[in-house]
Structure 1
Amino acid sequence: MGDVNAYTVMARAAAAALLAAGLFVLSGCSGDGPTPAQEASAATDTLCEDLGALRMDAGRLADLGRTSAGLDDVRDLREDVAHALDTVTRSAHKVPKARADGVTDAYDGLARAVDALPRDTNGDQAAQRLRPQLEALDHAIAASQASVKC
């Protein structure tokens, strides 16, 4: 009978140990969110995606010379770039080393150049006139991507 009691005590102790281990594991998962390193990595990944989208929208604006777009099309594409820039700006707030100010400054130069285009400008003429500003924006995006190692 002594063996049965010893076995029961050991079984209960093992069960208690398993229960305690389970509670310990669950408590580590329940309320804890991502670590600061995980949050920083996710913020950088989001910024990199947003910079890539901005670069694609700016590229569509640069490709206007291949289409017969008019000034309204140029301004519509500029708005797409502006929207992508807003997304980048929000993402960059979470990534201190993003160098997004240069991207914003380059976009401002592009926006002023689009506003200065004559009303009868076609896509090819717009692409030629905007080339320096588009190149500056592309370089600023590349610098921001390099600063966060996209």
Structure 2
Amino acid sequence: MRPSILRGRRRTAVCGALLAAACLMTSGCSDDSTPQEEQTKNTQALCDSLRDMKTDAQKLASMDRSTSTLDDIKAARSDVSDAFQDVKEDAKGIGEAKADEISQAYDDLKSTVDGLAGDTTAGEAIQQVKPQVDKLLSAIRTSETSVSC
């Protein structure tokens, strides 16, 4: 082949490689979502976390006094705790989430469950925990309403 043809092919190959690299770099760094779409996505994540926390709290509230054990109640509180961590994370940046109310209600529930004596019957424990669970469920409903879940 002639040298001028080789130079043209090399130049085309180099230009093509540079163009492909530029396309890959710009597409990997761009985020096409608008602030409104981000807000909607964040709100949906919070709503999902609130729903999960409400489900776990309702399980705790509906435990059977005759068949549940103190360990069952503590395990259910642990599930609520895990869900609470998700709510806290998802509520960041969403001012109307009313996360402080949920946090206070959760802290009250945690203190009550953690303060149960080892000889407390499940029936007694459920009776002691129920007001805190109700307060937590109320705070969750308030947050759901405030962010339009």
Q: Which bin holds the TM-score, normalised by the shorter protein?
A: 0.7 to 0.9
Residue of structure 2 in register with 1:91 after alignment: 90
Instruction: Tell me how large the CA RMSD over aligned residues is.
Output: 1.4
d(CA) in 1 for partners of 2:31 and 2:58? 42
Residue of structure 1 in register with 2:73 after alignment: 74
Residue of structure 1 in register with 2:50 after alignment: 51
d(CA) in 1 for partners of 2:124 and 2:58? 16
Instruction: Compute the TM-score of the two structures, normalised by the length of structure 2.
Output: 0.76
Tell me if structure 2 keeps the 8 A contact 1:69–1:123.
yes
Residue of structure 2 in register with 1:21 after alignment: none
The farther-off stretch of 121-130 and 138-147 is 121-130
Residue of structure 1 in register with 2:23 after alignment: none
Residue of structure 1 in register with 2:143 after alignment: 144
Q: How many residues align?
A: 121
Which letter does structure 1 place at the counterpart of 2:125? A
Tell me if structure 2 keeps the 8 A contact 1:58–1:134.
yes
Following superposition, the deviation at residue 32 of structure 1 comes to 4.2
Residue of structure 1 in register with 2:116 after alignment: 117
The farther-off stretch of 31-40 and 43-52 is 31-40
Which letter does structure 2 place at the counterpart of 1:129? Q
Following superposition, the deviation at residue 67 of structure 1 comes to 5.4
d(CA) in 1 for partners of 2:71 and 2:31? 50
User: Does residue 101 of structure 2 align to residue 102 of structure 1?
Assistant: yes
Partner-residue secondary structure (3-state), 1:65: coil
d(CA) in 1 for partners of 2:108 and 2:73? 15
Unaligned runs of 5+ in 1: 1-29
User: Does residue 133 of structure 2 align to residue 130 of structure 1?
Assistant: no
Percent identical: 38
d(CA) in 2 for partners of 1:32 and 1:120? 56
